[in-house]
Structure 1
């Protein structure tokens, strides 16, 4: 873009925030202009030495003095190119003279200036009069950032790391460079099985990175500095608290400078530091006295405004702890429960450990200062805690309650063995613990034993003993545990039977209902009875708002899924939009199951990129373990969303990450089948239609055998879509009949598969209309295109043209291109389709720059096997060098898209700016 602007002999003005790379971009453009034979004059350091065509000057006035007058005949040839960094610092007189010289064609100019900085009149007139292009240099988006990291690191960066780096830097080039170099130096960014991984910000940053951050915080007034310190301790901070402290004007000025961001939620206005890195740097340099004073003042201010929300209670207790004031044990346990609900498990763990102390100065009872998970020291400290619980009967109740809560936290953090140690000791010593807390701890321990420790029989024995020991009114909650275990084991009919037995002919009380109803409704929905699941949820609609937050979220999620399967996508979206709790990063609880349902719905409606963004943030967030969801499930769904949006190579890389995760975590049949579906979908989009059809058909038969009609019919439909209905055999008719009996979207899926099998153009067109009415535009578009093909094959050309026209209208509304398997009849089959699934994985990894050894380690094969795969890949793709792999894979998987390039820059007031690139 810059080259085009300079060749028009006007030039360009680059503007952007500090650190986005304006100066480096300017210097690079000047170098290239000089290399092309242009005379370059640079001012203010915007250049380099050692080039005979480049001359440097200290001021613009000195530079302009060297400009020779035009030739007598008026032809001055190609004018010199003047490069100016920090153009806003140019004196007014020189800027006017520069404007005049550019206006008469004597000069071209390439300048850079900070965004929103007041510039002298001559500089502003250059772009206002369209003599130069006004180019806004924006921060990197996530795609561009991944390309930059790949170039710097020489390999693939995993999805969670990309999102964490984006959250820490917001795509600022300077901060990204310094953070990556700092993380490489301290070892926190390292390569694991050929992929670069980073766990996130530490409490302290390297000196250079800290100094870079402090440059952006210099020249703060005392009031601005005070507010920055308050935000580093307790962001997000209510604007009214800042105003009460006399810092309202400081907040306004910091907002204008981009140091502080403002977020609004209803009537609440909160302040945050714009960059997370700033919080870490400021907090690390703050004195202990300042920290304690500000913590006390903010906690007092929060209490004066009224701790109406759970989060306010949690913040007050946390601030008191930071100020060195340890609250009472009951207050600590209350705050710990709130922290668990909000998924702030490190904070909850610290509060539980404090509650286990006998006295505020008891420092030997627990590792309070940032324990390292699974360390020998931490394990020894836990054993000391267990011993004290057993040997201090007078305090056994309170300390056992704290230990039970700590066990729940450890389960959430994935430390199953430590959790079992704590829970078993606390339950054995927990005489006098409230029965509701004991029942909740038994539920946690049973699930931990069955799921993470694979001690299923021990878990069942413990559950049976506890049911026999407690009163029937309390045993109802443990029947919810039985239902969860049945779902985890893919025994959905058993889960429904448990629910029918416990809930028959009466409305259960709150603890039993919230433990049982969402799980049983989920099982009914998966079995193909969304109407029955909604009826069950509807019976508890009035009491559900009183349930715990997680139970409400799960019930809302199941309700939305049922609505979508019954064909009401808009109603499902409204239910999920009404509960913002699923969105990671907004300070609210995060449950993966509602988020996955949200993303599934977005993809069904054609909003794949939005779904991919949500999934990336969820993958990077530190969410607790859930059942039956595994960490690989959202990553697999991300791969599917990327494939549907056309990002095929990244989808393949995501699947490789899925494989590496699956070996390190418990497996659930439901989660495994969800992952298998996304794997088949990615294969289909990347050209291997045969393998996709085989895998999808096997999945359909496996899910149908387990009674999961919904997954079975969607998998069979995928197989039918990619094989022109050939995957629908006679033995699958029972599945289609069962799906038709469910009604709604499930019935529509079955009719779609049957229509593809029969090449029934009329039914395909009817199915397309139903999908379009529901809002599932991608499927509506695809069904219309397949109807056109079926009509054409039957010789009904008029109907074929009508169906094709309807499909084009839907595609324009949807904005998503047809998948490759629909268009293949009018195209030559892509050579990439001849690559096997393993060859495509090897090619995708090799195209990122990974070595053969790294690829072998990642795929758990030998280096010789990788070399053989690459030899066959080169032959099939017609290339001879590894450097050609990326371009060949991108071209052959049909991924040539604008978004894969560094995002276009916005043009303002430039010639031709009405056509934004």
Structure 2
């Protein structure tokens, strides 16, 4: 209520600014006429009932919603009915439970303002005790009970507070997790302090988490306790602190001090996850598989071992060998407080492997499933799921949807970046923007990758190089884009990421590269899934100038689910037909490319731009023209093409002559009027 010279509740009621039915004797509550005789004949009984009604209102104000049955244990059930019929409390059904909520938020503010600190602490303790008596049948009841108990006059219950802190970590309600864990840690419990370290790590406070874990290591007296410290400490150093070398050193030092096979297998699981994220897929898959051979591996270790297997096999192009690995990990994550968020990182690796293999309908379903599962959870976990849905949208060619999801996820994840999710969003955002033709926005986002780059995300570096390639392509520097795509392929091949190498070479083909057919043909038998043979056929068709082969590749890519690549192949077929003066066939292929580009929410790739309006220019002349209208100087163009400035000037002279324009300004106007994206 209002205090310190402002209006009191009776004044508010009498003024008409706020109505409290039945709150004061100025009017009789509606709907409770049957109580009239009781109140008139026994005013003391009526007064007690109204006081109980007010007590119910206070309890609901402190912790809504409250189950009606539970509330009836704390006050007279008739008072609860009176609170509802008076209009200050409303009762709603949630499943099989009836729950009492405040009829208006203002009632809660007024009641909480009236309560003294000691009274509020006593009432919270009463609610917490009543919740305990009900058995806390719902998942969130334990968390609510702990929050109430932490702010009550009850003696601290370290086990309750620790369990609740684990639940808060699972939901990634990290400030609450820290508060509950600190309250539990005041008792000096090992598990409570470990939970506090987890919360600090997820709050992106790596140094504080490491200090807590280092101190906890001094208290560890058994191999199990040493393991319980080493795993979160290594994970904190690897992902949150971004110091992978130190993290791996912690693993090695701990391994040398332990002898229990169970503990050693857990450390092997963690080591497998580190291997794969550091770009060592074969070692990651081997260590992960070795750890997963243990049936009683803890849930978090199952998820981390699956990082190695899913990520490693996916990058090496062996997705057919995943079997039940991912389902086992997702089931483990659903049971474990500290594996729920890492499971989203596993899903990213899983989707990447499926994307490289060309199993894009499975990618889409994974993204939808994660998004559905996150609807009941708010905060970072929901944003991570949004990011995964963005990855799925990009891989399927839904470009503007991807841009929207990446921006939404990054808005909340950047301040609490821990696992590299915000950086992954940024890299894929660059590609999505570039594929829509927004070169300026793509370049701006690409520039930010230098400062946001996560040291633990070596695995995804081929995607970063491909994002640079797509940005160059959007700026018209197609030769540079092809070179960068080949750089990505070489980088991936050197790390045994065979599927990534194949994917990068296919990207070069989409840019118009005619030199990769042989390499892709060699890889076609080494990579599981439909993409590798289709990529090889696409490359062969482009190299041979075979429009029919390009259209066949387009159809296969569309069936596979990669609509953007399908649009590029169709656009390249249209260009081949056009240059052979097969106008009807060219129009049909261009129409197909246009339809697919529209399904991709307005894709504007080099192949689509070329097919949109054929020009009497060679590939090199067209590239120089596009870079010129994007504002690059002759010297800049020469540097990107690795030719002399005089060569660029000669090309521009011929371009102006072929198009009948006088200079750069006229060239930009001509290309714009011709429907060519500039």
Global fold match (TM > 0.5): yes
Q: Quick check: 585-594 or 740-749, which moved more?
A: 585-594
Which structure has more relative contact order (CA 8 Å, sep 6+)? It is 1
- Matches of 2:550 and 2:273, distance apart in 1: 39
Asked if the contact 1:688–1:837 (Cα under 8 Å) also holds between the matched residues in 2, the reply is no
| Equivalent runs, 1:298-377 vs 2, <5 Å | 307-323=136-152, 325=154, 327-358=156-187
2:5 aligns with none
Are residues 477 and 288 of structure 1, via their aligned partners in 2, closer, same or farther at CA, if it must alter by over 3 Å?
A: farther
- Which of residues 425, 428, 434 in structure 1 aligns to 2:215? 425
Asked if the contact 1:689–1:821 (Cα under 8 Å) also holds between the matched residues in 2, the reply is no
- Matches of 1:516 and 1:580, distance apart in 2: 24
Q: Does 1:638 align with 2:638?
A: no
Asked if the contact 1:636–1:678 (Cα under 8 Å) also holds between the matched residues in 2, the reply is yes
Write out per-residue CA displacement over residues 447-481 of structure 1, whole angstroms, 9 at most, x where no aligned residue: 33455363726743653434642410222111011
- Matches of 2:547 and 2:449, distance apart in 1: 38
CA drift of 1:559 comes to 4.8
Q: Report SS of the residue matched to 1:744.
A: coil
More helix per residue: 2
Asked if the contact 1:648–1:895 (Cα under 8 Å) also holds between the matched residues in 2, the reply is no
- Matches of 1:641 and 1:819, distance apart in 2: 11
Q: What RMSD over aligned residues (CA atoms) do the two structures have, in Å? A: 5.0
Asked if the contact 2:436–2:605 (Cα under 8 Å) also holds between the matched residues in 1, the reply is no
Q: Report SS of the residue matched to 1:621.
A: helix
CA drift of 1:522 comes to 1.5
- Matches of 1:778 and 1:283, distance apart in 2: 58
Q: Report SS of the residue matched to 2:476.
A: coil
| Equivalent runs, 1:6-155 vs 2, <5 Å | none
Asked if the contact 1:704–1:735 (Cα under 8 Å) also holds between the matched residues in 2, the reply is no
| Equivalent runs, 1:462-541 vs 2, <5 Å | 462-466=251-255, 468-503=257-292, 507=295, 509-511=297-299, 512-534=301-323, 536-537=325-326
2:526 aligns with 741
- Matches of 1:604 and 1:772, distance apart in 2: 12
Are residues 615 and 705 of structure 1, via their aligned partners in 2, closer, same or farther at CA, if it must alter by over 3 Å?
A: same
Q: Does 1:700 align with 2:489?
A: yes
Write out per-residue CA displacement over residues 674-716 of structure 1, whole angstroms, 9 at most, x where no aligned residue: 3332233233234333333332221221112112223323332
Write out per-residue CA displacement over residues 390-448 of structure 1, whole angstroms, 9 at most, x where no aligned residue: xxxxxxxx53332222222222222222222211121121226xx65642421121233
- Which of residues 549, 562, 573 in structure 2 aligns to 1:763? 549
CA drift of 1:645 comes to 4.2
CA drift of 1:765 comes to 0.8
- Which of residues 229, 252, 258 in structure 2 aligns to 1:441? 229
Are residues 636 and 556 of structure 1, via their aligned partners in 2, closer, same or farther at CA, if it must alter by over 3 Å?
A: closer
- Matches of 1:295 and 1:311, distance apart in 2: 16
CA drift of 1:784 comes to 1.2
Asked if the contact 2:266–2:297 (Cα under 8 Å) also holds between the matched residues in 1, the reply is no
Are residues 317 and 502 of structure 1, via their aligned partners in 2, closer, same or farther at CA, if it must alter by over 3 Å?
A: closer
Asked if the contact 2:492–2:500 (Cα under 8 Å) also holds between the matched residues in 1, the reply is yes
TM-score (norm. length: structure 2): 0.70
Q: Report SS of the residue matched to 1:632.
A: helix
Q: Report SS of the residue matched to 1:528.
A: coil
Asked if the contact 1:606–1:814 (Cα under 8 Å) also holds between the matched residues in 2, the reply is yes
Q: Does 1:833 align with 2:630?
A: yes
| Equivalent runs, 1:685-834 vs 2, <5 Å | 685-722=474-511, 724-726=512-514, 728-729=515-516, 733-734=518-519, 736-747=521-532, 748-811=534-597, 813-824=599-610, 826=613, 829-830=625-626, 831-834=628-631
Q: Report SS of the residue matched to 1:495.
A: helix
Write out per-residue CA displacement over residues 35-54 of structure 1, whole angstroms, 9 at most, x where no aligned residue: xxxxxxxxxxxxxxxxxxxx
- Which of residues 669, 676, 686 in structure 1 aligns to 2:458? 669
1:906 aligns with none
Asked if the contact 2:357–2:530 (Cα under 8 Å) also holds between the matched residues in 1, the reply is yes
Q: Does 1:660 align with 2:451?
A: yes
Are residues 786 and 252 of structure 1, via their aligned partners in 2, closer, same or farther at CA, if it must alter by over 3 Å?
A: farther
- Matches of 1:271 and 1:241, distance apart in 2: 10
- Matches of 1:549 and 1:581, distance apart in 2: 15
TM-score (norm. length: structure 1): 0.53
Write out per-residue CA displacement over residues 38-83 of structure 1, whole angstroms, 9 at most, x where no aligned residue: xxxxxxxxxxxxxxxxxxxxxxxxxxxxxxxxxxxxxxxxxxxxxx
Asked if the contact 1:522–1:558 (Cα under 8 Å) also holds between the matched residues in 2, the reply is yes
Q: Report SS of the residue matched to 1:431.
A: coil
Asked if the contact 1:565–1:746 (Cα under 8 Å) also holds between the matched residues in 2, the reply is yes
Are residues 609 and 295 of structure 1, via their aligned partners in 2, closer, same or farther at CA, if it must alter by over 3 Å?
A: farther
